[in-house]
Amino acid sequence: MKQNIPFAKVFIGENERKYLNEVLESGWLTTAGKALELERRFAEAVGATYACAVNSCTAALHLGIEALGIQPGDKVFVPSMTFTASAEVIRYMQADPIFVDTEYRSNLITPEILEAAIKKHPDVRFIVIVHFGGQAVDLDQILPLCKKHNIRVLEDAAHAFPAKRNGKWVGSQGDVSCFSFYANKTITTGEGGMLVTNDEQLYKRAKVMRLHGINRDVWDRFTAKTPSWEYDVVEAGYKYNMPDINAAIGLGQLEQAELFRKERQRAAEYYTERLSDLNSIDLPLIHVANDEHAWHLYPIILKPSAKVSRNAFIEKMSEAGIGTSVHYKPLHQMTYYKERYHLNSADYPNAEKTWQGNVSLPIFAFMKEEELAYICDTVRAILE
Ligand SMILES: Cc1ncc(COP(=O)(O)O)c(C=O)c1O
């Protein structure tokens, strides 16, 4: 029987309502105690010293890249196989992305790819690393390479909470890591993000720039003894603070993060077991079998030998009531980047091969066994 299964689903329950009610009853809706509490608990969860709550991961990436001191005309490595936010923040600083390819099936940067990129562009001093789909990049290999070549690292961890590789949490190792709490992520605040770092200077800079370049935040202004009107503007900053309404939802979600992650993993394992014998698709390559995978996405790739095109496959899934998505059309194919930087598809063979057939299957917590079985049966019926 036909089912209706969305691509993503949010779980909001009593826990989130409890924190949200506290905010509504307090009358203080914008950034205050709940945002501070979320920062404290999130930093603890990923093993970082500092956390700065913001209204999106894009805002966190912007603050991070600004705090790293990127200047106009600087060049920054960034994967082509990612969401545009990873690269657009480079343009916010009037710096230029140098797109790199990623490993086929994991969409992660590898030491080999980075080494080749450094050889070709020895003047690059920054990199945006994307922990694609919730699987962590091997930072034990990538960070020493970056250090050797004086490259500072901004981690786009939009997909990667909670995620671990080589026993280390994403967020605990690099210069700056940025997480997303957009509605389809493992935990959500509706819209929201978090910048984490172990570097006090970067943290202080991000915190000032988060709120208009003002040297005191609003909560401090209204709770400290110094009069609230007394503040200085030390930079032309942004308006990126996370309101307590959002932080309250985040606190409720954070307490269930490991449950949500395990639930996603259950779905991913089901797909892998039930679909691995299909010759016409490639399944995600898993490097973190003994660590934690956030399983934000479960992307499959239809091979050229598949009976149907990717678009026809999506259409048929949709007719069967199953939501899917594509992650991603690579950035080297997007008009803005392609035209501005005269990019050539031949330089990104793995991203190209992926883009010919990538489709992400539904993945969210508490997927029912019947739903998973129905999705696998439908995939099989379309492809066989
Ligand atoms: C890889 C990547 N980076 C950054 C972002 C931006 O996140 P946000 O929507 O929280 O700004 C996204 C959004 O999903 C993403 O997929």
Ligand 1 closest atom vs CA 192: 10
Q: Which residues are catalytic?
A: 185
Nearest to 100 by CA among 333, 351, 301: 351
Ligand 1 closest atom vs CA 184: 14
Q: How far is the CA of 46 from the centre of ligand 1 (A)?
A: 18
The pLDDT value given to residue 336: 98
The pLDDT value given to residue 94: 98
Q: How far is the CA of 149 from the centre of ligand 1 (A)?
A: 28
**Alpha carbons 363 and 5: distance in angstroms, whole number:** 10
Domains defined for the chain, CATH in brackets:
14-256 (3.40.640.10), 258-383 (3.90.1150.10)
Q: How far is the CA of 383 from the centre of ligand 1 (A)?
A: 31
- Supply the residue whose CA is at minimum distance from atom 7 of ligand 1: 57
The pLDDT value given to residue 219: 64
Q: Report the residue among 54, 55, 57, 161 best suited for mutation to probe ligand 1: largest number of ligand atoms under 8 A from its CB.
A: 57
The set of residues, in sequence order, having a beta carbon less than 8 Å from that of 371 and lying 6+ positions away, is 3, 5, 362
**Alpha carbons 132 and 242: distance in angstroms, whole number:** 24
Nearest to 99 by CA among 11, 91, 24, 215: 91
The pLDDT value given to residue 226: 72
The pLDDT value given to residue 151: 97
**pTM as predicted:** 0.97
Question: Digits of tens for pLDDT over the chain (384 positions)?
Answer: 899 999 999 999 999 999 999 999 999 999 989 999 999 999 999 999 999 999 999 999 999 999 999 999 999 999 999 999 999 999 999 999 999 999 999 999 999 999 999 999 999 999 999 999 999 999 999 999 999 999 999 999 999 999 999 999 999 998 999 999 999 999 999 999 999 999 999 999 999 999 999 987 666 666 777 777 778 899 999 999 999 999 999 999 999 999 999 999 999 999 999 999 999 999 999 999 999 999 999 999 999 999 999 999 999 999 999 999 999 999 999 999 999 999 999 999 999 999 999 999 999 999 999 999 999 999 999 999
Q: Is residue 162 reached through a cis peptide bond, with omega within 30 degrees of 0 on the bond before it?
A: yes
DSSP string covering 29-88, please? -SSSHHHHHHHHHHHHHHT-SEEEEES-HHHHHHHHHHHTT--TT-EEEEESSS-HHHHH
The set of residues, in sequence order, having a beta carbon less than 8 Å from that of 287 and lying 6+ positions away, is 106, 108, 135, 138, 165
Ligand 1 closest atom vs CA 86: 3
Question: How many residues can be counted in the chain?
Answer: 384
Q: Ligand 1 site: residues with CB under 6 angstroms?
A: 56-58, 82-83, 85-86, 130, 156, 158-159, 180, 182, 193
